[in-house]
């Protein structure tokens, strides 16, 4: 894919910020959005290729208006990447509504609020790449991660459907599934994180996957991906026996 216009939701920190800087360095014009204006300004850092557009993805009217604004000011959106995420470790057996609400509202409904107006824009311009950062945590239900894991599983399912349905419109739907990556989110974790990756390494893999291929799934690191996929296909008695070992002692 040749450099064009990209828009990254969650571009003010973590993976999103690192992806933004790499795309800008490769000649892309990158719009970045998030709730924290100071973080967006810091990432932009006076770089004319990076344009901050503050946005709260839980505000439907603001999301729809921002799609129109970005498309108008930058003329088109060749690559869209949704990377906003909410995550909080939960106590085992806690399924309280309030604990789930923020995670579902940001991770899953945030994508749905922007999907239709973004797809309409890509249809109008004749093509586009619609990408969402899910997680290997979405491959199966993880103890103490019920809200986060279920939203990521929902996103994977949604994106699989969109990939098929939007292909006739020349819209390529992409799913990014990282393992553990150093960020503000993983800093909250109080458990071992196997194959923990540096943010820049993860960003390089995402940028290369998005710009040098059209494949649906961009998942890494490979050792963790294959481990998670192997566990997903185990017979349930074995699967639940393994999951029991992940509960707090």
Catalytic residues: 148
Is residue 30 within 8 Å of 51, Cβ to Cβ?
yes
Question: DSSP states of 94-161 as a string?
Answer: ---HHHHHHHIIIIIHHHHHHHHHHHHHHHHHT-EEEEEE--GGGSS--TT-HHHHHHHHHHHHHHHH
Backbone angles phi, psi at 42, to 5 degrees: -65, -40
- Residues with Cβ < 8 Å from 150, sequence gap 6 or more? 141
């Amino acid at each position: 894919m040749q450099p064009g216009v990209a828009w990254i939701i969650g571009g003010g920190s973590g993976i999103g910020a690192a992806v933004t800087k790499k795309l800008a360095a490769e000649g892309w014009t990158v719009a970045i959005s998030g709730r924290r204006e100071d973080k967006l300004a810091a990432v932009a850092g006076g770089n004319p290729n990076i344009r901050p557009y503050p946005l709260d993805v839980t505000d439907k009217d603001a999301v729809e208006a921002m799609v129109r604004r970005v498309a108008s000011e930058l003329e088109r959106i060749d690559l869209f990447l949704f990377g906003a995420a909410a995550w909080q470790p939960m106590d085992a057996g806690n399924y309280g509504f309030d604990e789930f609400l923020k995670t579902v509202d940001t991770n899953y409904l945030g994508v749905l609020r922007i999907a239709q107006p973004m797809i309409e824009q890509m249809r109008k311009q004749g093509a586009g790449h619609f990408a969402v950062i899910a997680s290997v945590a979405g491959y199966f239900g993880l103890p103490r991660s019920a809200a986060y894991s279920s939203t990521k599983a929902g996103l994977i399912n949604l994106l699989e459907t969109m990939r098929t349905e939007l292909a006739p419109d020349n819209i390529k739907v992409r799913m990014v599934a990282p393992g553990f990556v150093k960020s503000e989110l993983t800093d909250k974790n109080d458990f071992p994180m196997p194959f923990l990756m540096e943010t820049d390494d993860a960003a390089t893999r995402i940028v290369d996957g998005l710009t040098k291929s059209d494949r649906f799934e961009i998942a890494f690191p490979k050792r963790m991906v294959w481990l998670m996929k192997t566990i997903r296909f185990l017979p349930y008695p074995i699967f639940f026996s393994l999951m029991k070992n992940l509960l707090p002692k």
